[in-house]
Amino acid sequence: MQFTAAQIAQIINGKVEGDETVAVGSFGKIEEANAGQLSFLANPKYEDYIYTTGASIIIVNQDYQLKNAVGATLIRVADAYTAFATLLDAYQQIQQQQLTGIEQPSFVSASATLGEQVYIGAFAYVGEKAVIGKGSKIYPGAYIGNQVKIGDNTTIHPGVKIYHDCVIGHGVTIHAGTVIGGDGFGFAPLADGTLKKVPQIGNVVIEDAVEIGSNTTIDRATIGSTIIRKGAKIDNLVQIAHNVEVGNNTVIAAQTGVSGSTKIGKNVMIGGQAGIVGHIVIADGSKINAQSGVSKSMKLPNTAVTGSPAYDYTAALRSQAAARNLPQLEKRIKTLEDWLKNQENK
């Protein structure tokens, strides 16, 4: 599929500098792109490649100043990185629009409701009274349980499992191997030392424009709903326990674990391998550094923590700096002790 510079500029609201008719059919990194490919320059570290790249079209910031002539056609935009992401998204949507219909073998319950232009891949399962909105894509090997509701233009990648009664919004992307709505980890200890399973009768609600990475697990609530709010982005290999709530536009990096009934606010940033205990509150705009262990509520918005147990980020950096000076401090103390001893002897 070929696109001219003029067509691309229209999509990303850019201005063409050079040949508007030059066409590209694929993307390439600026340091290795060939003729017929499109690339972008956003990081100054790669600036030298703009003069040597084989790319036919390059997206650059509108205020970027050339030092030498370039062979490629430029498209100037307000933000090159954002424009490139927008273009990739448009390209992906065009590709996905070509997928429609129900492949065989697959199973779609007679009581399920499918919208227009839906795609169901081979070996997928769609349960009783499930609802799949228009333009949504269910890739091969996915499992959609009974009475699951999926909104419009949502993409469920291969091998995703969505258990019964869960609700997925519009424009959601769930990557391969993720499990939505498995039982929460609830067991009651009995007098004889055994553990009795507590039934998990709630569900998971994922609102619009959420993206969830591969092999992530989001457990259903014991009662009520585990909720992922609009615009949240969750990485691969993340564990979200029962009755957790993740706020709007919050981002959670890989291998993070969030224990049950914790409420995470909006616009929170959580680094990889962080661990968060249950039944606490994380305020809006909080930042949790990678590998931090959060054991109590963060009630003040827009604060940052690090360490395990996690504490104030700035104080932690001060402590680390002090710790690095301990060997030198020890020598100074030893010198002072020797001096005092000599004074006493005198």
Report the first-to-last Cα separation within the chain, whole angstroms.
Answer: 92
Report whether 242 contacts 221 (CB < 8 A).
yes
Distance CA 143, CA 12 (A): 36
Catalytic residue among 157, 170, 175, 242: 242
* Residue burial 110-130, b: 16+ Cβ < 10 Å; e: rest: eebebeebbbbbebbbbbeeb
Return phi, psi of residue 329, to 5°.
-65, -40
Q: What is the pLDDT of residues 225-275, one digit of tens each?
A: 999 999 999 999 999 999 999 999 999 999 999 999 999 999 999 999 999
Q: What is the mean pLDDT of the chain?
A: 94
Q: What is the pLDDT of residues 8-40, one digit of tens each?
A: 999 999 999 999 999 999 999 999 999 999 999
- Strand ranges of the sheet holding 203-206, from the earlier edge strand across to the other edge: 113-114, 131-132, 149-150, 167-168, 203-206, 225-228, 245-246, 263-264, 281-282
The overall pTM is greater than 0.85: no
Per the listing, tokens 């918005």 go with: 301
Per the listing, tokens 């969830």 go with: 212
Report whether 175 contacts 235 (CB < 8 A).
no
CA atoms within 13 A of residue 42's CA, in its CB half-sphere: 12
Q: Class assignment of domain 101-316?
A: mainly beta
The strand ranges marked E within 51-96 are: 57-61, 73-77
Catalytic-residue membership of 164: no
pLDDT score of 311 more than 90: no
Distance CA 8, CA 291 (A): 41
Distance CA 271, CA 311 (A): 15
Q: How confident is the model at residue 184 (pLDDT cuts 50, 70, 90)?
A: very high
CB-count exposure of residue 254 (10 Å: 0-12, 13-18, 19+): middle
CATH code of 3-97, in short, is 3.40.1390.10
What are the extents of the domains in the chain?
A: 3-97, 101-316
From the list 247, 290, 248, the residue with the least C-alpha distance to 272 is 290
What's residue 338's pLDDT? 85
Q: What is the pLDDT of residues 188-210, one digit of tens each?
A: 999 999 999 999 999 999 999 99
CA atoms within 13 A of residue 308's CA, in its CB half-sphere: 9
Q: What is the pLDDT of residues 79-112, one digit of tens each?
A: 999 999 999 988 877 777 678 899 999 999 999 9
